[in-house]
């Protein structure tokens, strides 16, 4: 403990005078609005501007700056309200109308944005805004008019690149961004746009490389880190992607606030749909992908009707939307036995798979395979699936469809091998899987595993159908022992004369195989027991004949 001091802590002689002549000359310099704007500190700028207005120092210029900073902070509603108040003034600056239109645009109020933009004077900003609005209204003629008015200046070219991106013309957008970057290396944000285009083209590793240039300078950028997380999701898994977003959430820089909804949405995707019903419904009309991901969630939960209700009114404009509408219609068509829905699905798949931009992509080839699958043209299905199978070796859904196509063209050996690669318990308990695998076993002369598939099933309409399949397919393939067993169970479940005829033919077939030495004599005991399960008068004659042969060959059967 310090018990004594040589100098007093405060007062004369302390050496730490509170106010000295030197210090009095130094006055703290108050920040100016221009300083905040120069540093792009829009939070500081709007705080100062609002302080000035509330303290009676405000003016129309102050109001303009508040609207401007609110817009750049992503608070479009506040910016809209400020600009709207300014339009009430007789001395309203004519550019305010276009600025107000920009706010409406970002709020998704395109009709109102269009009306306000047309009230303002002609300018490059007005043309760019109307160019984008024409795209939103799907007005091609008007879009081309504004396209022709674009000039070879950076702002106009960036606007053109964004329209290319929105129309899925990613390579054209990349070309524009790269051309601008050649002359403006310091426009680092363009690297994010280029990376986003490469992401959309499925070049995730290239996207990562380009993105790294920007992240070196701005490691806490919400947009860039989110894109990096999406690349990790595609290249690795959801856990790796979630790790990237966790870092972003911990830093929580000013750029983070506007991206909260996007990050919440992406975390649901990275976690395989966890929390989808809590997070996605409010975002359906905010983030375009939210509707699509909610549809995917419903499909994974086998709620096909809910998925259809969510997507039925969506007018598809991107390949992903066409594909998802195709998948939902295909699922609904198969569930309800609706030819109409299956035809719609086939047309959607054909549109994507046949388009110039998608025909050589993996989703494009999957679409053509799906189209031919619905048309039952399995030779054509295999042409497309063979070209992409190396990308889906461990994908259960792909293998399920691939194996069915192989079996449908008679390649049962390969089909069996592919069916057995499937790990999903849901698929393995599906009747379609069980019936196709049973057929493959039988066609590959492995009737016993097919019979064991039936024994593992619980009694139901599906198990009865599988029994019929085993009985008929085994009979056709000369595997009479299991055909007889199957027909025996069918006859006991349903005394249909056809089942007796099938059992009789199968038992006689086994007897012939025993005589020819193709079946062990011990099998005859089982055959006799199967025959005794029937009260048909023909049974006694058949049993007598078999016993006579056994006696002549000194083989005891009873």
Confidence (pLDDT) at 142? 96
Q: What is the pLDDT of residues 448-471, one digit of tens each?
A: 999 999 999 887 889 999 999 999
Virtual torsion, Cα 161, 256, 214, 31, nearest 10 deg: 100
Reply yes or no on whether the pLDDT at 23 is more than 80: no
pLDDT band at 27 (very low <50, low <70, confident <90, very high): low
Q: pTM of the predicted model, to two decimals?
A: 0.74
Q: Return the sign of the alpha-carbon dihedral for residues 321, 323, 329, 331.
A: negative
Confidence (pLDDT) at 257? 55
What 406-409 contacts at long range (C-beta under 8 Å, 24+ apart), as own/partner pairs, is 406/382, 407/436, 407/439, 407/440, 408/376, 408/378, 408/381, 409/378, 409/379, 409/382
Half-sphere exposure of 186 (CA within 13 A, CB side): 0
Averaged pLDDT of the chain: 89
Reply yes or no on whether the pLDDT at 182 is more than 50: yes
Mean of the pLDDT values across residues 123-129? Answer: 96
Reply yes or no on whether the pLDDT at 17 is more than 60: no
Non-local (6+) Cβ contacts of 160 within 8 A are: 131, 147, 150, 176
Confidence (pLDDT) at 465? 94
Q: Look at 168-172, 208-212, 323-327, 445-449 and tell me which has the smallest mean pLDDT.
A: 168-172
Reply yes or no on whether the pLDDT at 25 is more than 60: no
Measured from the Cβ of residue 9, the count of other Cβ atoms closer than 10 Å reads: 7
**3-state SS record for 379-410:** HHHHHHHHHHHHHCCCCHHHHHHHHHHHHHCC
Reply yes or no on whether the pLDDT at 21 is more than 50: no
pLDDT band at 18 (very low <50, low <70, confident <90, very high): very low
Q: What is the pLDDT of residues 29-85, one digit of tens each?
A: 677 888 888 888 889 999 999 998 898 887 888 999 999 999 998 899 999 999 999
Measured from the Cβ of residue 355, the count of other Cβ atoms closer than 10 Å reads: 15
Give me the percent of the chain exceeding a pLDDT of 70.
93
- Helices in 73-109 by DSSP H: which ranges? 76-87, 95-106
Instruction: Say which CATH topology domain 33-218 has.
Output: 1.25.40
pLDDT band at 7 (very low <50, low <70, confident <90, very high): very low
Please answer whether residues 487 and 503 qualify as being in contact, where contact means their C-beta atoms are separated by less than 8 angstroms. Answer: yes
Task: Tell me the C-alpha distance between 47 and 69, whole Å.
Answer: 10
- Distance between first and last Cα of the chain: 108
Cβ-in-10-Å burial (0-12, 13-18, 19+) of 45 comes to: buried
**What separation in angstroms does the CA of 376 have from each of 231, 300, 369, 373, 380?**
36, 25, 10, 5, 9
Reply yes or no on whether the pLDDT at 482 is more than 90: yes
Q: What is the pLDDT of residues 351-360, one digit of tens each?
A: 999 998 888 8
Query: Top-level CATH class of 392-477?
Result: mainly alpha
Q: Look at 13-17, 84-88, 513-517 and tell me which has the smallest mean pLDDT.
A: 13-17
Confidence (pLDDT) at 481? 93
Q: What is the pLDDT of residues 331-383, one digit of tens each?
A: 999 999 999 999 999 999 999 999 988 888 889 999 999 999 999 999 999 99
Q: Which of 70, 59, 69 is nearest to 93 (CA)?
A: 59
Measured from the Cβ of residue 361, the count of other Cβ atoms closer than 10 Å reads: 17
């Amino acid at each position: 403990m310090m018990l004594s001091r040589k100098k007093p802590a405060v007062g004369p002689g302390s050496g730490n005078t509170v106010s000295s002549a030197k210090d009095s000359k130094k006055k703290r310099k108050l920040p100016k609005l221009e300083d905040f704007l120069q540093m792009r500190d829009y939070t500081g700028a709007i705080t100062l501007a609002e302080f000035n207005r509330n303290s009676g120092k405000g003016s129309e210029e102050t109001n303009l700056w508040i609207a401007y900073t609110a817009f750049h902070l992503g608070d479009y509603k506040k910016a809209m309200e400020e600009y709207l108040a300014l339009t009430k003034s007789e001395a309203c600056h004519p550019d305010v109308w276009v600025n107000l239109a920009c706010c409406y645009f970002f709020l998704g109020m395109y009709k109102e944005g269009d009306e306000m933009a047309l009230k303002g004077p002609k300018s490059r900003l007005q043309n760019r805004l109307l160019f984008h609005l024409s795209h939103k209204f799907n007005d091609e003629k008007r879009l081309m008019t504004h396209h022709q008015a674009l000039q070879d200046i950076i702002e106009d070219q960036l606007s053109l690149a964004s329209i290319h991106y929105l129309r899925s013309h990613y390579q054209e957008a990349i070309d524009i961004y790269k051309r601008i970057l050649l002359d403006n290396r310091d426009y680092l944000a363009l690297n994010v746009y280029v990376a986003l285009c490469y992401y959309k083209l499925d070049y995730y590793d290239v996207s990562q490389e380009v993105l790294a240039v920007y992240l070196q300078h701005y490691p806490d950028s919400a947009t860039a880190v989110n894109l990096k997380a999406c690349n990790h999701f595609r290249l690795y898994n959801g856990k790796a992607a979630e790790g990237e977003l966790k870092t972003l959430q911990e830093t929580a820089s000013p750029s983070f606030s506007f991206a909260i909804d996007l990050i919440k949405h992406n975390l649901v995707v990275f976690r395989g749909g966890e929390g989808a019903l809590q997070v996605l419904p409010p975002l359906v009309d905010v983030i375009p992908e939210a509707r699509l991901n909610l549809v995917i969630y419903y499909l994974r939960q086998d709620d096909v009707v809910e998925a259809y209700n969510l997507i039925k009114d969506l007018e598809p404009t991107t390949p992903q939307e066409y594909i998802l509408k195709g998948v939902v219609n295909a699922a609904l068509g198969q569930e309800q036995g609706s030819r109409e829905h299956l035809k719609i699905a086939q047309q959607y798949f054909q549109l994507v798979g046949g388009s110039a931009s998608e025909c050589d992509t993996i989703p494009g080839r999957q679409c053509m395979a799906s189209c031919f699958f619905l048309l039952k043209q399995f030779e054509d299905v295999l042409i497309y699936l063979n070209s992409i199978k190396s990308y889906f070796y461990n994908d259960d859904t792909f293998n399920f469809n691939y194996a069915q196509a192989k079996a449908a063209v008679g390649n049962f050996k390969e089909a069996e091998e592919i069916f057995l690669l499937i790990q999903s318990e849901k698929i393995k308990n599906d009747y379609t899987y069980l019936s196709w695998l049973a057929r493959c076993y039988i066609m590959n002369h492995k009737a016993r595993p097919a019979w064991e598939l039936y024994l593992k099933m619980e009694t139901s309409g599906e198990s009865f159908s599988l029994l019929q399949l085993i009985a008929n397919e085994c009979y056709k393939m000369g595997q009479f022992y299991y055909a007889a067993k199957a027909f025996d169970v069918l006859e006991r479940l349903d005394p249909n004369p056809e089942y007796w005829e099938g059992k009789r033919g199968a038992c006689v077939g086994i007897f012939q195989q025993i005589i020819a030495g193709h079946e062990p004599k011990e099998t005859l005991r089982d055959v006799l027991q199967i025959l005794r399960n029937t009260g048909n008068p023909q049974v006694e004659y058949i049993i007598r004949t078999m016993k006579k042969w056994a006696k002549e060959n000194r083989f005891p059967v009873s």
